[in-house]
Amino acid sequence: MMLELVSKTQSFDGSQCQYRHRSDVLDCEMRFSVFLPSQAEGEQRFPVLYWLSGLTCTDENFSQKAGAQRMAAELGIVLVIPDTSPRGEEVADDEGYDLGQGAGFYVNATQAPWKPHYQMYDYLVEELPALVEANFPVSDRRAISGHSMGGHGALTIALKNPGRYTSVSAFSPICNPMACPWGEKALASYLGEDKTLWEEYDATVLLSRASERLPMLISQGEEDAFLEEQLKPNALQAAARAAGYPLKLEFHAGYDHSYYFIATFIEQHLRFHADYLLHVD
């Protein structure tokens, strides 16, 4: 699969790059961003943190706003930031910001008109990592993180794939999409009305059934406008307590849903992942 370099910018002696490629899984052209620390110019192979962004975002929001490059460069971690959905004139869309392009919800759609292109789960679990591992100096040690809709994606992907990731974290994730307006709209549209199918993309349900005790960190701002109606971290916390799952959920006074929140605590999250990515038993 051919990669086309779109842009390359030096950052903390490493390289912030954007690439374009044709996705077989999504049947459209896709972009993703990569940060490569300066050490990646040698023979060594580096672990990867996959970052999944939220509603309306592209691969550029995290790259430009989170300030993650400094710590990734210091720790020796590659960052991979995919887009949030398939894109293009041939790809189905919706007038709402919370469905369609920019709102793929990290699921494999089964319903028309979404099914032909909206296979974001397979893209992120299989196609993109294979592409990254074939073209960049990375190892097979992976962690995953995200924000809001991307936090939902990070949690569900990690919980559905035991052994694939060393750790998972999220900022302000949609924790219980079966029980919130964003999730109900997206899951009904992409998967249909059978709610038993929705359970496969609900972190609260998946955590209650999890066989693996993956290190998990969640940061949530107390001034987040979406906290009560859309995000529902307390539901995930209750499921974790019932299952004996070692969830670390931190509430932060004064912080909202924005990238100011992410930029404030991204160092903590990267250090959290480094404890598992960089230390092999």
pLDDT band at 136 (very low <50, low <70, confident <90, very high): very high
Mean pLDDT, rounded, for 140-161: 98
Mean pLDDT, rounded, for 103-114: 98
Chain segment 158-190, per-residue pLDDT in tens: 999 999 999 999 999 999 999 999 999 999 999
Backbone angles phi, psi at 56, to 5 degrees: 75, -5
Please report the pLDDT score of residue 1 as a whole number.
65
Backbone angles phi, psi at 49, to 5 degrees: -110, 120
Half-sphere exposure of 222 (CA within 13 A, CB side): 5
User: Is residue 44 over pLDDT 90?
Assistant: no
User: Is residue 280 over pLDDT 80?
Assistant: no
Chain segment 67-90, per-residue pLDDT in tens: 999 999 999 999 999 999 999 999
Name the pTM for this structure. 0.97
Pairing of strands 78-82, 46-52: parallel
First-residue to last-residue Cα distance in the chain: 34
Query: What is the rounded CA–CA span in Å between residue 177 and residue 204?
Result: 9
Mean pLDDT, rounded, for 59-66: 98
Query: What is the rounded CA–CA span in Å between residue 205 and residue 186?
Result: 17
pLDDT band at 148 (very low <50, low <70, confident <90, very high): very high
| Residues identified as active-site | 148, 224, 257
Please report the pLDDT score of residue 234 as a whole number.
97
* For residue 177, cis peptide bond before it (omega within 30 degrees of 0): no
Please report the pLDDT score of residue 226 as a whole number.
98
Task: For the sheet with 247-252, list strands across it.
Answer: 4-11, 14-23, 28-36, 78-82, 46-52, 138-147, 168-171, 216-221, 247-252
Within the chain, strands assigned E span 4-11, 14-23, 28-36, 46-52, 78-82, 138-147, 168-171, 216-221, 247-252
Q: Check if the beta carbon of residue 259 is closer than 8 Å to that of residue 123.
A: no
* Two tokens, residue 253: 């006074």
Residue 20: strand pairing partners: 4, 31
pLDDT band at 42 (very low <50, low <70, confident <90, very high): low
